Structure 1
């Protein structure tokens, strides 16, 4: 079986291009370092920051990253917690690994304050009672209760897909799309509806069945595949980062009355502005009810790939897959991530090395600020051979769901969110020219996925959490 064509500028693997259910502009080449690209034909409204980035000292640049001035309690360090539905076939940690690390925010006197980890993930294998299927998911929550959104998806989607397995087997694209959109509706209208207007999550779901793999992405969590092609290591993006200033995304947003501002200096992201006050740094997500009327959608972009592992130890073929939150991809390109993983032989160790390298890049670039970082690494081949008929009927397996970072109750960090808390005091629209001002909490407006405009007094928000020295 041929592997899907590469999106990088390097040599192309042989075989057919991936099938795409929802075509959109191609992602940036895997070997390119920046994750967010602005194409030449984009013409979003210009942003005029009132303070030039070049005039800011180190403390001012760091302070630009902050959106609200409260600290939050951090959950205990729990990289993994297995569900009660244990299987007698434990994960082979040499073949598949998971790792997560909470974010931090700058504190007084040079301290770093831990923030609750809003990233969640789930790894289901065997899936639906067969060793030939697996489900890998990463959800990057955001907003004042963003961990509620990501945890809802973590526990809900696997059950929905397992219950709908006949449709999943018949038409994975239709089933994945329908259930992810339904999950968004459930979050917005169910028990979490009171918080769903102001928080949400990305969603990157990878369904593996034999030699085939479907990747369903909403937001900017990313999946990649690394292959050896002509003796060279080539990274291929399996999903596209949904940024508001991508031409098709921007056109949809503006047709619904939203406003898009472009990316700018110091890592400031492009944003879609809902109601003139909420700036969301991605164009697709789960939840985020306040932005749903402005062209932000939950609909996943789905791509299909064929997995073709090497037939010999040094032969060409697909080597491993990475699914990770944007805490990994902010300062590490897809190609760099592949090269980091390729230097290790144990998947769990590889995952830790990747997360550690991402954390070190954050420290170097941002000092005492770091986003949540979560990754799943799967060495190939992982599933049973395509012709094998291993099933629950034969070996009596239940689904084994390994949850990544089951958080404790508390106030969540804002660092990877697309939505922020409700505006306090006033709902007057904010002019587009001032939405990214480097003078007004510019730290958040540059780095965070969401920004919102508050009144002059932030005391109410400061009281929501405690300072934690780390």
Structure 2
């Protein structure tokens, strides 16, 4: 059974976006870095860390433990904090409800929890539309892992990633195995999927400044929220013009339908890393797994964060200390677990 390590890397104002119902363990600080080196949950250990900046917190994460097993959620918000906060407050509850109704955890119960969360958030947007139309433009990537009866379930919308560290043979080696499917327009498979879904729209994906974006606006093709890209009634005035499409929307462009997989856990499955895209921009799957594997598990979150920051500094020919003070747009949230 893996020692599910849960680690959070995000640039935020303070570590408000971390929700833990397991034995949280002791927390500490190292400059801008908040961390929890080791904690306990139903199946093993986890560690968490948050690197802070003077920014609005758009990202949330949680780890919950109970009769259903262990639930890990990583919610990478964009456009504002509302969607990620909403998901953190409601998705787990919907997961409990759907699992209770079905008398067990399945890929379908997790999928239904995602779609219920999307439906309720859309209702909230409807309520606030007249007074706060910008609520239609906030969204969140959503990565969930559930360990239930020796089975790992992974569900994802957006471009976060889950990587399994698996021991290989008797040599002490470790293999990095990616378990999740990402939904980012920079991936050829995602662009092809969008073109197949929208064959009459030559602008469904647009290359802008070297980055592929859906309708030239957003990189991810799946999310919770972003209802201005899903429902025509929220893609009109008084919405800010930069979000309004020039042609009528006859079908949703984005979706909240998650990619869901399940696999039985094996004795040689050592640990799991859940991370949003910021980690993987600077560390390969193999590098991240090696860092966790080659050190004691206590402090793994902090160690991964520092490795990612050091690599970002090297790429930009900057000092590590200077990199920690620059704008949030350089970084993205990370959770690994």
Relative to structure 1, the CA distance from residue 362 to residue 308 in structure 2 (aligned partners, 3 Å threshold; closer, same or farther) is same
Q: Which has the larger radius of gyration?
A: 1
1:371-382 matched pairs, under 5 angstroms: 371-377=331-337
Shift of 1:153: 0.4
The match for 2:40 among 80, 92, 116 is 92
State whether structure 2 residue 280 is matched by structure 1 residue 329. Answer: yes
Name the CA distance, whole Å, in 2 between partners of 1:89 and 1:119: 19
Name the CA distance, whole Å, in 2 between partners of 1:254 and 1:289: 18
State whether structure 2 residue 162 is matched by structure 1 residue 217. Answer: no
The match for 1:271 among 205, 213, 221 is 213
Give the TM-score taking structure 2 as reference length: 0.72
Report the number of matched residues: 273
Q: Is the 8 A contact 2:17 2:57 kept in 1?
A: no
CA distances 1:372-423 after superposition (whole Å, capped 9, x unpaired): 332233xxxxxxxxxxxxxxxxxxxxxxxxxxxxxxxxxxxxxxxxxxxxxx
Shift of 1:87: 6.7
The match for 2:59 among 119, 122, 125 is 119
1:435-450 matched pairs, under 5 angstroms: none
Unaligned runs of at least 5 residues, structure 1: 4-72, 104-113, 310-316, 378-470
Name the CA distance, whole Å, in 1 between partners of 2:112 and 2:70: 19
1:52-451 matched pairs, under 5 angstroms: 75-77=13-15, 80=18, 82=20, 91-92=39-40, 95-102=45-52, 114-126=54-66, 130=67, 133-143=69-79, 145=80, 147-167=81-101, 169-170=103-104, 172-190=106-124, 194-230=133-169, 231=171, 232-244=173-185, 245-246=188-189, 247-255=191-199, 257=201, 259-262=204-207, 268-273=210-215, 279-292=217-230, 293-309=251-267, 317-347=268-298, 349-366=299-316, 368-369=326-327, 370-377=330-337
Q: Is the 8 A contact 2:12 2:51 kept in 1?
A: no
Q: Is the 8 A contact 2:159 2:183 kept in 1?
A: yes
CA distances 1:347-393 after superposition (whole Å, capped 9, x unpaired): 4x00111112122223333453432332233xxxxxxxxxxxxxxxx
Relative to structure 1, the CA distance from residue 89 to residue 121 in structure 2 (aligned partners, 3 Å threshold; closer, same or farther) is closer
CA root-mean-square deviation: 2.9
Name the CA distance, whole Å, in 1 between partners of 2:336 and 2:14: 20
**Structure whose residues are more often strand by fraction:** 2
Relative to structure 1, the CA distance from residue 202 to residue 87 in structure 2 (aligned partners, 3 Å threshold; closer, same or farther) is closer
Name the CA distance, whole Å, in 2 between partners of 1:252 and 1:167: 35
Name the CA distance, whole Å, in 2 between partners of 1:186 and 1:165: 18
Shift of 1:169: 4.6
Which residue of structure 1 aligns with residue 242 of structure 2?
Answer: none
Q: Is the 8 A contact 2:14 2:57 kept in 1?
A: no
Shift of 1:150: 0.6
* Higher RCO structure, 1 or 2 (CA under 8 Å, sep 6+): 1
Name the CA distance, whole Å, in 2 between partners of 1:200 and 1:76: 21
Name the CA distance, whole Å, in 1 between partners of 2:153 and 2:19: 26
Q: Is the 8 A contact 2:195 2:204 kept in 1?
A: no
Shift of 1:251: 2.6
Name the CA distance, whole Å, in 1 between partners of 2:52 and 2:122: 26
Unaligned runs of at least 5 residues, structure 2: 3-10, 26-38, 231-250, 317-322
